[in-house]
A and B are shown apart, each in its own frame.
Chain A
Amino acid sequence: MKLSCDEATKICDKNQYSEASLWEKIKLSFHLFLCKKCGLYSKQNRVLTKCFEIHKDSESRKKHCLPEEDKKHLEKEIKARI
């Protein structure tokens, strides 16, 4: 039943992706009830998840392309090897 802070915050991280099991969540709540340090971690973790969401949205709009000069170079290299 008793978790270390390392284990508790690991479950807390897992929970940010909704992948902690019921038993893990029960153990985590018990730990958070007693531990202020991890309580603060847990609160800040939700804030971070929001930041990552914002970052994810802007990243998914980006499209990375291979620069034209690299493409030309690659085409040449491929032709030489066919």
Chain B
Amino acid sequence: MPSAHKHILNPNKWVGLHADYLYNYTISRINDQDLAKDIVQDTFFAGLKAKDNFQGLASERTWLISILKRKIIDHYRKINSTKGKAEVKMNFYTDGDREGEWIEERVPTAWNSEIEKVIENKELREALEKCIGALPEKYAMVFKMKTIQQIETEDICKELEITSSNLWVIIHRARTQLRKCMEESWFKN
């Protein structure tokens, strides 16, 4: 083994070298600053505990990111298991004769001057941020990874350990919800 090429860990420098990178990575998936800070801290602590297992094959950052990814999956599992609490509003009937049809109050209605309203400005971004922020955490996370971070479907599925059909159901519910929210807060006034 060419030991000269082995990476080493230097926990004294972790914060300076990697804290911003890990934090940025976390905040692009989890929309909550305090929670993101906690997850970064947990990642460093878990790294310290496991530092004797580090074999030096990957760089320090790659190794820390792999720990961070575990923390993010754990968080995703947690928010995914709190059933009933974190669901979006129903848009379609789920049983009976009308299964799969639009629920009346959720049917899309025509928007006013939509062309003029799709412009790069602060108000539009604020309206969007508010609507995305109003999504249950699980939906916001998957929607942002796919739409804002533009991560490949396959990679999101691997990262969160979900199937692609699962992913499209989440994206579908998130977008239907966002359509309704943007209709009320932006396109109708």
Contacts and interface: CB of A to CB of B under 8 A. Distances in A.
Interface of A: 4-7, 9-10, 13-14, 16-17, 19, 37, 40-41, 44-45, 47-48, 50-52, 54-60, 63-66, 70-71, 74-75, 77-79, 81-82
B54 interface: no
A66 B19 contact: yes
A81 B111 CA distance: 58
Given A5-B101, A55-B125, A60-B148, 12 more contacts: A4-B101, A5-B100, A6-B92, A13-B172, A13-B176, A17-B146, A37-B108, A54-B124, A54-B125, A71-B19, A74-B44, A78-B45
B30 to A, nearest CB: 11
A52 B12 contact: no
A14 B168 contact: yes
- What 3 pairs between A and B have smallest CB-CB spacing? A4-B100, A6-B92, A10-B172
Contacts of B178: 48
